[in-house]
Structure 1
Amino acid sequence: MNLRELSSLLGLSQTTVSRALNGYKDVSEATRARVLAAAKAHEYRPNTRAQALATGRSRAIGHVIPKISTHAMVNPIFADFIAGAGETYSQAGYEMLISVVDVDDEARAYRSIKARGLVDGLIVSAPRMNDPRIELLDEIGLPYAVHGRATGTERPYSWLDVNNRRAFSRAAEFLLDLGHRRIALINGHEEMDFAHRRRQGLEMALAARGLAPDPALMRQDEMTEGYGYRAAREMLAMPDPPTAFLVSSVICMLGVRRAVEEIGLTLGREVSAITHDDQLSYLRDDGPVPAFTATRSSVREAGQRLARMVLERIDAPDAPHRHELLEAELIIGRSTGPAPS
């Protein structure tokens, strides 16, 4: 069914039906409800090209991925986030544009996207400390929302984040309560805001118990299984090895488990570990007792909620910025136990 046929069925002009479908406020709520019900009943799908010409909107949201992070395209965390965001876009009649660019051309890519009218808004992922993209997007006038926060940035902006500092502080407190004092951190790159906050969470928990962090027990890198394995093997070979690990990704955690088992130890007995778990669709740690103790949040839900946030910015660009801070849940699994005597 096309717009003309839907309008004829309802006995309304095509303009009225179009404005009702696109949320214009000059259409009464009763008319809007009637139009939406008929569109759903007859499986009407708007012509997005025609909509773009009529409204001046592209009906697309952009995600710019620098080539230094092309691994993100096959990273299950990124995939789940995009899946969640895509669900929200689809429900609102929006498409998704993913643009992979050279890291040195990132600013130029944003300007080109704006100049060519390719998207109505953007989601900024993996914010860095003092992230320059926030000032850039304000300058060029594209609505956006940030997945995370950018410590050091003074400008107001809309964001959704997990309380990473609190999550890792709670995880470290749990290990300290189990008697662990040598707690290692296997973190992401710490110029990334989330990793910076997770290190702070561990350091806060140690300081509260009168303990100083040991730089020899802290690692940062791209969060792969191989990195988790190498970092854990290296630290477990130290003269005074850690008895517990805090791990920034369940993908890294698989490498930590491999390293522990390779030297004949059992995770949760001789060595404990807590990971951050994004509740990935294809890597779920389900069952009566999860394999890993974890600080758990859903990256798919984050994608859904952040997509709604950027759509709100598009519809009301002058509205006050909105912030959502999600708390991670500490789930007790089989990977933690009392510190060995």
Structure 2
Amino acid sequence: MNLKELARKLDLSPTTVSRALNGYPEVNEATRERVAAAARRYNYKPNTRAIRLATGRAMAVGHVIPLATRHEIVNPVFADFIAGAGEVYSRNGYDMLLSVVPDDNEERVYRELKSRGTVDGVILHAPRMEDPRIPLLVELDIPFVVHGRATGTTLPYSWVDVNNRRAFQRATEFLLDLGHRRIALINGLEFMDFALRRRRGYEDALTARGLTADPAIMVSEEMTETAGYRAALHMLALDQRPTAAIVSSMIMAMGVRRGFEERGLRVGRDVSIIIHDDELSYLRNGDDVPIFTATRSSVREAGRQAADMLISLITGKVTGPQELLLEAELIIGQSTGPFTG
């Protein structure tokens, strides 16, 4: 079925149908939904080349990935985020352009995307404090959404983020309620905004109970299994070892658990662990009963939400910076228990 045939079935003009399918703001919501439902019913797929000619859009979204040796973007949660975003792109007829570049080429790539008109917008990943990419994208006038937030950035911008500070505050409070006082923080790299917010949540909870964070049991590392393992061994060698740990990812926690168990500690009885679980499709935190107690927030859903937000900005369905803060759920698993002294 082509556009004209779909328009005849709906008793609408081809122009109206085209604009409804492409999110033009002048088409009212009822018409847009009616057209979308008919397109699904008749399995109508718009001609991407025709859309590009009609709208002047590239019908593509860019993801620029800096290739650094010590950078959180190497964490495999990125794949689930892309999977979620890709669902939305596919549904809306957009392609995805993935550029993997050296860190010092990032600005050049964004400028080339703008000058060539290769993409209609971009998702910005792994924001840092006072991230210089945000003012760059504002200057280039490219629609963009940040996956996360950038502390210290004063310009308004669109973002989708999980409430990392509150998640780690709740995790710390839970362990404090179980009687633990020597609680380790095994965090991601703290020039990354999410890791900074997680540390603040952890410190807030300790301060509220009259406790002071001990730097000897606080680690900031790449979120790998090996880094978690080394952090666990380091902390177990201290005169006053921690009785519990909050760990920034499932993968890192696997290393922490390996280190604890090598020293004869039973997780959930002798030592407690809480992790952040991105609810990865290929690395599940148990089946019926979670392996780890966790602050859980789906990174795939974050990908869907960020892509939806970006397409709304590209099409003009919304204007101005948009913000979405997702809350993490505290899931009780087998890795925590009361402090037994």
The one-character-per-residue Cα deviations of 1:152-187 (angstroms, maximum 9, x if unpaired) are 001111111111111111111111111111111111
CA 1:31–1:264 in 2, change beyond 3 Å: closer, same or farther? closer
Give the 3 Å change call, closer, same or farther, for CA 4–72 of structure 1 in structure 2.
farther
* Partner in structure 1 of residue 172 of structure 2: 172
**Counterparts of residues 296-335 of structure 1 (less than 5 Å):** 296-316=296-316, 319-335=319-335
Whether 1:201 and 2:168 are equivalent positions in the alignment is: no
Structure 2 alignment gaps of length 5 or more? none
In the alignment, what sits opposite 1:98?
A: 98
Any conservation in 1 of the 2:253–2:275 contact (CA below 8 Å)? yes
Task: Tell me how far apart the structure 1 counterparts of residues 205 and 30 of structure 2 sit (CA, whole Å).
Answer: 56
Alignment of 1:282-293 (within 5 A): 282-293=282-293
Query: CA, structure 1 residues 154+233, in 2 after alignment: closer, same or farther (shift >3 Å)?
Result: same
Rounded to whole Å, the distance in 1 between the matches of 2:205 and 2:31 is: 57
The CA distance in 2 between the partners of 1:46 and 1:217, in whole Å, is 56
Q: Which residue pairs with 1:87 in the alignment?
A: 87
1:68 is paired with a residue whose SS is coil
Q: Are the counterparts in 2 of residues 183 and 244 from structure 1 also a CA contact under 8 Å?
A: yes
More displaced 10-residue stretch of structure 1: 41-50 or 267-276: 41-50
Shift in Å, 1:326: 1.3
Instruction: Say how many residue pairs are matched.
Output: 341
Per the alignment, residue 39 of structure 2 pairs with 39
1:109 is matched with which residue?
A: 109
Question: What is the distance in 2 between the residues matched to 1:327 and 1:264?
Answer: 35
Deviation at 1:132, TM superposition (A): 0.6
CA contact (8 A) 1:73 1:79 kept: no
Quote the Cα distance in structure 2 between the aligned partners of 1:280 and 1:90: 21
- Structure 1: distance between partners of 2:330 and 2:29: 44
Are the structure 2 counterparts of residues 27 and 129 from structure 1 closer, same or farther at C-alpha, using a change threshold of 3 Å?
Answer: closer
Shift in CA distance, 323/238, structure 1 to aligned 2, threshold 3 Å: same
Q: Which stretch of the first structure deviates more once superposed, 101-110 or 89-98?
A: 89-98
Deviations 1:283-341 (A, max 9, x none): 11243431101111111111111111111211238823221111111111111111231
Task: Judge conservation of contact 1:121–1:143 (CA < 8 Å) in 2.
Answer: yes
Residue number in structure 2 paired with 1:151:
151
Q: Deviations over 1:192-251 (max 9, x none)?
A: 000001111111111111111111111111101111111111111212111111100011
- Shift in alpha-carbon separation, 1:4–1:257, aligned structure 2, 3 A: same
Give yes or no for contact 2:59–2:93 (8 Å, CA) kept in 1.
yes
* 1-structure distance, mates of 2:103, 2:306: 24
Contact 1:66/1:101 (CA < 8 Å) preserved in 2?
A: yes
Equivalent residue, structure 2, for 1:222: 222
Counterpart CA distance in 1 for 2:29 and 2:249 is 46
1:239-278 equivalences in 2 (<5 Å): 239-278=239-278
Q: Give the whole-Å Cα distance in 2 for the aligned partners of 1:243 and 1:27.
A: 59
Q: Identity of aligned pairs, percent?
A: 65
Q: Is the 8 A contact 2:72 2:222 kept in 1?
A: no
Deviation at 1:265, TM superposition (A): 1.1
- Compute the displacement of 1:29 (Å): 6.7
CA distance in 2, matches of 1:70, 1:99: 18
The answer to whether residue 223 in structure 2 is matched with residue 210 in structure 1 is no
Could you state the TM-score of these two structures normalised by the residue count of structure 2? 0.93
1:66 aligns with 2:73: no
Question: d(CA) in 2 for partners of 1:212 and 1:30?
Answer: 56
Cα contact 2:277–2:294 (8 A) shared by 1: yes
Q: Could you tell me whether the CA contact under 8 Å between 2:23 and 2:317 is conserved in 1?
A: no
Distance in 1, matches of 2:200 and 2:134, equals: 23
Q: CA deviation at 1:27?
A: 5.5
Instruction: Provide the C-alpha distance between the structure 2 equivalents of 1:192 and 1:24, rounded to a whole number of angstroms.
Output: 36
Alpha-carbon RMSD:
2.2
Does the Cα contact within 8 Å between 2:23 and 2:315 map onto a contact in 1? no
Describe the shift of the 1:185–1:15 C-alpha distance in structure 2 as closer, same or farther (beyond 3 A). same
Instruction: Write the distance in 2 (CA, Å) between the matches of 1:133 and 1:203.
Output: 29
**In the TM superposition, what are the counterparts of 1:131-150 in structure 2 within 5 Å?**
131-150=131-150
Change beyond 3 A, Cα 1:274–1:43: same
